Structure 1
Amino acid sequence: MNPRSTQTARPAKIAVTGVTKTFTLGRDRFVALDDVSLDIADNEFVTVVGPSGCGKSTLLNILAGLEEPTSGSALVDGVPVAGPGPERGVIFQQYALFPWLSVRKNVEFGLKIAGVPKKERRERADYFIDVVGLTDFADVLPKALSGGMRQRCAIARAYAVDPEILLMDEPFGALDALTRVKLQEQLLRAWGRERRTVLFITHDVDEAVFLANRVVVMASRPGRVFDVVEVDLPHLRTEEVRLSPEFTVLRNRVWNSVYHQEPGPAPSTTD
């Protein structure tokens, strides 16, 4: 299957072409990604789901500039990714907030480093704190926040530096089910207001379908694109959408793609 055959006609904001990534583990050579190609359009919300070890996080790390592909290319606006950049905000499962700084000061931090004047920093921070629903907690330290609220603070901090792209690696993975659902809805509201290009890694099929314009299903050993599922569900997505027959059909297709795959070969050796 050629994954680009299911892409939209819009120009690619992110273009991954023939990306292979191998790691050496002792005497073994492990292929984490094998000839992965994927285009993501400007302002598109794409989720990536797949079994453990399928290379989801490796793909995100390459786009974030934290890893280099062994072969192939990863482009943003036609320019090769050659390290981290301000146009790409990265959010991991760990919140990485400064515990001694308030919510507002955490959100302002990247702006301060960039030399944004104090008044503008405050205005931008307060705006994005409002976007993620934390206005009443702007002066609170992270230790007084729930896990979900800390993650919302991390999302506001990423938005505040005005990245064109958000790369999110299982940001809700450590949260309880109810908090996770609430944050999914909150994230979509923020995306609806601010419109960024989003690549969201998850191991949760329901989350992948609920959030996305398209779901990319990865296969493992070696990691590769197995399926691409268009998600034609209405926005704003609500509990009603989540419980709809249309959602169930899409969810079942993605579930079958993820969990009914034939296992790939074992890692090759260098001998």
Structure 2
Amino acid sequence: MSTATTARIAVRDVSRHFTVGRERFTALDRVTLDIADNEFVTLVGPSGCGKTTLLNILAGLDHPTSGDALVGGEPVRGPGPGRGVIFQQYALFPWLTVRGNVEFGLRTAGVGRRERRERAEHFIRLVGLEQFADALPKTLSGGMKQRCAIARAYAVNPSILLMDEPFGALDALTRVRLQEQLLDTWNAERRTVVFVTHDVDEAVFLANRVIVMAARPGRVFATVDVDLPHPRTEQIRLSPEFAALRNRVWQAVHHQ
């Protein structure tokens, strides 16, 4: 098939099958999806609907059984520097400071010391960790570790961020604060973002568009456009418009 596409990310009839014992399990069934450049898309749905499997395919960490995942019109064959991945686990190097962690990808890419330091400092400030630049991860809270992981992903200048429930292990207040901070960062440093979550409120608050996945087998069940204004504030979260969108997404998830 032709790989020509106007979408930044294009998923074309992607299926992924796994064999568990003697059983064949379908994680994804003919998923087709387009994501535009600089769009913030959330994937929400019940456990087992293939959200993480789809994200791993886009990251190049897994491969479809059939179909194609395209980035910039080219098939994804493996991980690449243009796609930053942020997991629920912080995945920081414990022996490196915040600055060292943020600089790590730049160092491996051969960026010179001065530019590396300037870029690291910029993104450390962007996520509000400038007072902790010399701190080791063991001294940071969970939310601060995740902010460090976000800064590290942004520092290598990926055009796409793939985020797999990055706030799932955090307490409710920290989660809300990081949602707001992530949107502030996205507004300042636009990227195409695909964000996996189980939380309907989080999915609506963050996204330009919510993709509701259905399970058994995993597939796209519904798409909900989110036309809420930016910046997204607590007032937005309490608005009737937010409630209406949340209800639409919840009904799509609950319907299953």
Q: What residue in structure 2 maps to residue 265 of structure 1?
A: none
1:260 shift after superposition: 1.6
1:76 shift after superposition: 0.3
Q: 2:254 aligns with which of 243, 254, 259?
A: 259
Q: What residue in structure 2 maps to residue 113 of structure 1?
A: 108
Does 2:124 align with 1:129?
Answer: yes
Q: What residue in structure 2 maps to residue 237 of structure 1?
A: 232
1:102 shift after superposition: 0.6
Q: 1:93 aligns with which of 88, 91, 96?
A: 88
Per the alignment, in what secondary structure is the counterpart of residue 75 of structure 1?
A: strand
Does 2:11 align with 1:11?
Answer: no
Q: What residue in structure 2 maps to residue 5 of structure 1?
A: none
Q: What residue in structure 2 maps to residue 65 of structure 1?
A: 60
For residues 76 and 112 of structure 1, the distance between their equivalents in structure 2, rounded to whole angstroms, comes to 25
Q: Which runs of 5+ in 2 are unaligned?
A: none
For residues 66 and 107 of structure 1, the distance between their equivalents in structure 2, rounded to whole angstroms, comes to 22
Q: What residue in structure 1 maps to residue 69 of structure 2?
A: 74
Q: What residue in structure 2 maps to residue 56 of structure 1?
A: 51
Paired residue type of 1:132? V
Q: What pairs up with 1:203-242 in 2 under 5 angstroms?
A: 203-242=198-237
CA contact 1:11–1:42 (8 Å) conserved in 2: no
* TM-score under structure 2 length normalisation: 0.98
Q: What residue in structure 2 maps to residue 41 of structure 1?
A: 36
Q: What residue in structure 1 maps to residue 158 of structure 2?
A: 163
Paired residue type of 1:152? R
Instruction: Give 4+ residue runs of structure 1 displaced > 2 Å after superposition.
Output: none
**CA deviation map 1:80-131 (0-9, x unaligned):** 0000000000000000101111100000000000110001100000000011
CA contact 1:131–1:190 (8 Å) conserved in 2: yes
Per the alignment, in what secondary structure is the counterpart of residue 12 of structure 1?
A: coil
Q: What residue in structure 2 maps to residue 183 of structure 1?
A: 178
Q: Which runs of 5+ in 1 are unaligned?
A: 1-9, 262-271
Root-mean-square deviation (CA, aligned residues, Å) is 0.8
Q: What residue in structure 2 maps to residue 138 of structure 1?
A: 133
For residues 139 and 49 of structure 1, the distance between their equivalents in structure 2, rounded to whole angstroms, comes to 36
**CA deviation map 1:207-242 (0-9, x unaligned):** 000000000000000000000000010000000000
Paired residue type of 1:196? R
1:11 shift after superposition: 3.0
For residues 137 and 175 of structure 1, the distance between their equivalents in structure 2, rounded to whole angstroms, comes to 19
For residues 57 and 137 of structure 2, the distance between their equivalents in structure 1, rounded to whole angstroms, comes to 30
For residues 175 and 6 of structure 2, the distance between their equivalents in structure 1, rounded to whole angstroms, comes to 32
Paired residue type of 2:9? I
Q: 2:25 aligns with which of 30, 46, 55?
A: 30
Per the alignment, in what secondary structure is the counterpart of residue 100 of structure 1?
A: coil
Identity of aligned residues (%): 76
CA contact 1:35–1:224 (8 Å) conserved in 2: yes
For residues 93 and 77 of structure 2, the distance between their equivalents in structure 1, rounded to whole angstroms, comes to 27
1:259 shift after superposition: 1.3
Q: 1:246 aligns with which of 237, 241, 246?
A: 241
Per the alignment, in what secondary structure is the counterpart of residue 198 of structure 1?
A: strand
For residues 214 and 193 of structure 2, the distance between their equivalents in structure 1, rounded to whole angstroms, comes to 21
For residues 140 and 67 of structure 1, the distance between their equivalents in structure 2, rounded to whole angstroms, comes to 34
